[in-house]
Structure 1
Amino acid sequence: MAFESLTDRLQQAFKGLKKKGKVTEADVREMMREIRLALLEADVNFKVVKDFTKRVSERAVGEEVLESLTPDQQIIKIVNEELTATLGEEAVPLNKSPKIPTIVMMVGLQGAGKTTFAGKLANFLKENEKARPLMIAGDVYRPAAIEQLKVIGQQLDVPVFDMGTEVSPVEIVRQGLEQAYQNKNDYVFIDTAGRLHVDEVLMDELSQIKALAQPNDILLVVDAMTGQDAVNVADSFNKQLDITGVVVTKLDGDTRGGAALSIRAVTGKPIKFVGTGEKLTDIEVFHPDRMANRILGMGDILTLVEKAQKDYDEKKAEELATKMKENTFDFNDFIEQLDQVMGMGPLEDLIKMIPGMNNVPGLDQLQIDPKDVERKKAIIYSMTPAERENPDLLSPSRRRRIAAGSGNSVVEVNRMIKQFNESRKMMQQMTKGKMPKGMDQMFGSGIQGKMGKMAMNQMMRKQKKIKKKKMRKKKK
């Protein structure tokens, strides 16, 4: 995930403060030097780094911080607030038209991911707003772009308007919009052409499309992998088209993340969405405060909860909770839960969204192989229906048979059964509103650890309230 190296460097910068009871101006200067280097290494724009460190320094050497009993926490809080301000303060939604359709024009350089992201956005709105979008194939210079958009449209059951490659993009957009008005589509996404670099021909064409379509949003799609160049591209497009927002793709890759930190400060335009993977569902609304928390290793519990609410079947979740509480959770339920959790994205990324988990030794090396999940499923599928429903039946001879049937060793079968028993025990404790034994220690003692414990306790309290509310409803 992007920002991992930046997160590590920032946490190293804060470590020196945590060892001190009091912090001096010299300590703050040393920490700011480390933060400045960390940001520059992450490919953050030099002017942005200079302004950011100046603001943090001015606030961090204030009397209320230096005289505080917990100066390290105060300074981390200041860094968090200034990081959030640099990223844009709050999430910015699409500019909706008072009358349908809302027109969104996708622009950017070739290869940035405009076509795919048009599909991701269409799917996002279809799922979250029950929208009826239309996508217009306006890139006539790359025939593969039209075919790609049509394939995406078929996958998502979203209509795509195209007129091939022999008609001008402006005419295609004009006729596409007419169809959208006739069919009462509430969103239109215009996929435009890109070049390998910014040039007059490209900008002239985009300006004509803008004049015709009068889009509510002009979203610039930039590739996080391009680093500082993404900021230069954003600045050029903004000056010539007056973009309304930015979309950052490939934020899940091995990037330094500097572009995302610089774009808002350089262009003054908000990042509205980010791409977090290759699937058409891998899209997130950009929340500056949550991203700042992630960068500082404080997790992102709100996004994790939203993912769980979106991808989890509420009825099935209630059934599982009841089974856990009654200790009737079996291997069939275990498989169902594995499938639902894996559907939320890479497990290592989900774990890092929990506040405090960055303090767990070796977590940065954690890689959960999807094949390992498949091996677990193969072991379970080699059990008889009775064994899946009643794990207590699994005697040594049965385990040997399961190992042979699934192509695994007895050691691997035993390990999987042990993991199942431990997770069942832990989940049973959580359904009773208790922090599982030992979990509170893994968060550590720093500010991230305190936030982790606080977030977990809040979730426990919330769970208790929901249960009480349901019980009251049942009594009525």
Structure 2
Amino acid sequence: MFDALAERLESAWKTLRGQDKISESNVQEALREVRRALLEADVNLQVVKDFVAEVQTKALGEEVVAGVRPDQQFIKLVYDELVSVMGETNIPLAEASPAPTVILMAGLQGTGKTTATAKLALHLRKENRSTLLVATDVYRPAAIDQLVTLGKQIEVPVFELGKDADPVEIARQGVERARAEGINTVIIDTAGRLQIDQNMMSELARIKETIQPHETLLVVDAMTGQEAASLTRTFHDQIGITGAILTKMDGDTRGGAALSVRRISGQPIKFIGVGEKVDALQPFYPDRMASRILGMGDVLTLVEKAQEAVDLADAEKMQEKILSAKFDFTDFLKQTRLLKNMGSLGGIMKLIPGMNKLSNEQLQQGETQLKRAESMINSMTPEERKDPDLLAGSPGRRRRIARGAGYAESDVAKLVADFQKMRSLMQQLGQGQLPMPGMFGGGPFGGGPGYGGNQPPQPGWRGYPGGAPTKKKKEKKKKGFGNL
């Protein structure tokens, strides 16, 4: 998501590179690129006008900071304005006292409302909040069955009275059930329509009046661009909502919805759906989203994903094995599976600063390399996985593994050689040494994302700001890693 917007904005920074300062003449060209980028991302026209005007005012009044280039200052101004447009901070869900907290879900058909309801329930369960789902969509075929199935999948109970009951009565009884059973949060899944109509609005209004929800969340398809903002405003004017959930943010969305909803509707985005799986829901943080848009990555979200997927005790043991060069193929397989639990390789890499430059082709190549490695490791005996050195001097073992995995013996030999190089690198890192990036070739541990190979220079590489010491500095810093 936002790839096209990020590329367009980068062309704006380029217009200021090589300039001594931000002036009225050179900032105009940069602002034209920003305006074009936002319009192509399907951001609301009024939001674009206000955005550009605000950045221009701040840019021309900006004091020149010593040691900071004009393009860097301009990026900071755009970042601050992106955060402001999207709502400054994350707005958490309300938590009523006494319980239960009542959440009313609304939206049109096809936006992923029922799935978003289950995703939200799972998110709350991870926060140790007990949840009851209530199925009031008696119109769409199999809507109730879908919610019941999702409830079983995430181990959250679902309250339903069948297709013939009144949706308002189902909602009322669902809340009473939650109150009687001491459940912390009840989420009401309501019916949608193909378009806004009076019947849907009046039913929502009656349900809301009856159950008095603490949160009314509108589920909006991010693929609709700026139309998402207009839809949110219409629902807010007629029903009164407290926030929005943007779904399908992992698709071919251009970003207009995320940049328009708050400013046009006045209501915050509280969550975003980033995949079809039931755990693919993230709280919306404007500052993190602005970082992603500008290609700065999103380390905090990456850390949170890792915390969910990785056991702390296991991580400490793995760290010891890595730094003592005892990391084996079994450990590598375990780490690969943990990576899959965190999401796609492409999604994870784009959370890492500097990795947004990787093309889809490079990311796919990385996925392929990992699958090849996993296939060959699965053809090894437990003894061979624990002691990769057994394979280094045994062509017979390598041939057997190659036949089992469906690859050439040379592929297995390269896997083993690259793995041994990687272990050596990790050991040197543990000893406070910093080998040159790109020391590996194009195998599963080199040439793919993040391992050197044929990638363009990245910040932190030798000769680049913040990187390893260059040749001139080498004499002063012999153990560069300890001095970084």
TM-score of the aligned structures, taking structure 1 as reference length: 0.89
CA distance, structure 2, for counterparts of residue 131 and residue 109 of structure 1: 27
Q: Which residue of 2 aligns with 1:238?
A: 236
Q: Which residue of 1 aligns with 2:116?
A: 117
Tell me which of 380, 385, 391 is aligned to 2:388.
Answer: 391
The ranges of structure 1 where at least 4 consecutive aligned residues each deviate by more than 6 angstroms after the TM superposition are 449-453
> What is the aligned-residue identity percentage?
49
Letter of the 1:358 counterpart = N
Q: Which residue of 2 aligns with 1:261?
A: 259
Q: CA deviation at 1:371?
A: 6.1
Letter of the 1:111 counterpart = G
CA distance, structure 2, for counterparts of residue 97 and residue 451 of structure 1: 48
Q: CA deviation at 1:363?
A: 6.4
CA distance, structure 2, for counterparts of residue 368 and residue 224 of structure 1: 28
Letter of the 1:234 counterpart = T
**Partner SS for 1:143:** coil
More helix by share: 1
CA distance, structure 2, for counterparts of residue 330 and residue 365 of structure 1: 26
Q: How many residue pairs end up in the alignment?
A: 450
CA distance, structure 1, for counterparts of residue 361 and residue 41 of structure 2: 17
Tell me which of 175, 187, 196 is aligned to 1:189.
Answer: 187
Tell me which of 326, 329, 332 is aligned to 1:331.
Answer: 329
Q: Is the 8 A contact 2:428 2:435 kept in 1?
A: yes
Matches within 5 A, 1:49-448: 49-65=48-64, 69-127=68-126, 129-359=127-357, 362=359, 365-367=362-364, 373-394=370-391, 395-431=394-430, 437-438=436-437, 442-444=457-459
CA distance, structure 2, for counterparts of residue 353 and residue 452 of structure 1: 20
CA distance, structure 2, for counterparts of residue 327 and residue 342 of structure 1: 24
CA distance, structure 1, for counterparts of residue 348 and residue 68 of structure 2: 34
Unaligned ranges ≥5, structure 1: 454-463, 465-476
Q: Deviations over 1:292-312 (max 9, x none)?
A: 000000110111111111111
CA distance, structure 2, for counterparts of residue 212 and residue 71 of structure 1: 56
CA distance, structure 1, for counterparts of residue 256 and residue 213 of structure 2: 29
Q: CA deviation at 1:61?
A: 1.2
Q: 1:368/1:223 Cα in 2 relative to 1: closer, same or farther (>3 Å)?
A: farther
Letter of the 1:400 counterpart = R
Letter of the 2:377 counterpart = I
Q: Which residue of 2 aligns with 1:467?
A: none
Letter of the 1:115 counterpart = T
Letter of the 2:261 counterpart = I
CA distance, structure 1, for counterparts of residue 365 and residue 283 of structure 2: 25
**Partner SS for 2:236:** helix
**Partner SS for 1:237:** helix
CA distance, structure 2, for counterparts of residue 427 and residue 364 of structure 1: 27
Q: Is the 8 A contact 1:56 1:79 kept in 2?
A: yes
Q: CA deviation at 1:424?
A: 3.0
Q: Is the 8 A contact 1:276 1:284 kept in 2?
A: yes
Q: 1:418/1:256 Cα in 2 relative to 1: closer, same or farther (>3 Å)?
A: farther
Q: Which residue of 2 aligns with 1:16?
A: 15
CA distance, structure 1, for counterparts of residue 434 and residue 2 of structure 2: 30
CA distance, structure 2, for counterparts of residue 13 and residue 175 of structure 1: 56
Q: Is the 8 A contact 2:132 2:187 kept in 1?
A: yes
Structure of higher RCO (CA pairs closer than 8 Å, 6+ residues apart): 1
Letter of the 1:171 counterpart = E
Q: CA RMSD in A?
A: 2.4
Query: Does 2:33 match 1:34?
Result: yes
Q: Is the 8 A contact 1:358 1:364 kept in 2?
A: no
Unaligned ranges ≥5, structure 2: 439-451, 469-481
Q: Which residue of 2 aligns with 1:468?
A: none
Q: Which residue of 1 aligns with 2:472?
A: none
Q: CA deviation at 1:405?
A: 1.5
TM-score of the aligned structures, taking structure 2 as reference length: 0.88
Q: CA deviation at 1:69?
A: 4.8
Q: Is the 8 A contact 2:325 2:426 kept in 1?
A: no
Letter of the 1:379 counterpart = M
Q: Deviations over 1:77-105 (max 9, x none)?
A: 11100100001101110011121000100
Letter of the 1:17 counterpart = L
CA distance, structure 2, for counterparts of residue 88 and residue 56 of structure 1: 16
CA distance, structure 1, for counterparts of residue 337 and residue 232 of structure 2: 39
Moved more, 385-394 or 266-275: 385-394
Q: Deviations over 1:107-138 (max 9, x none)?
A: 000111111011111111111x2121000001
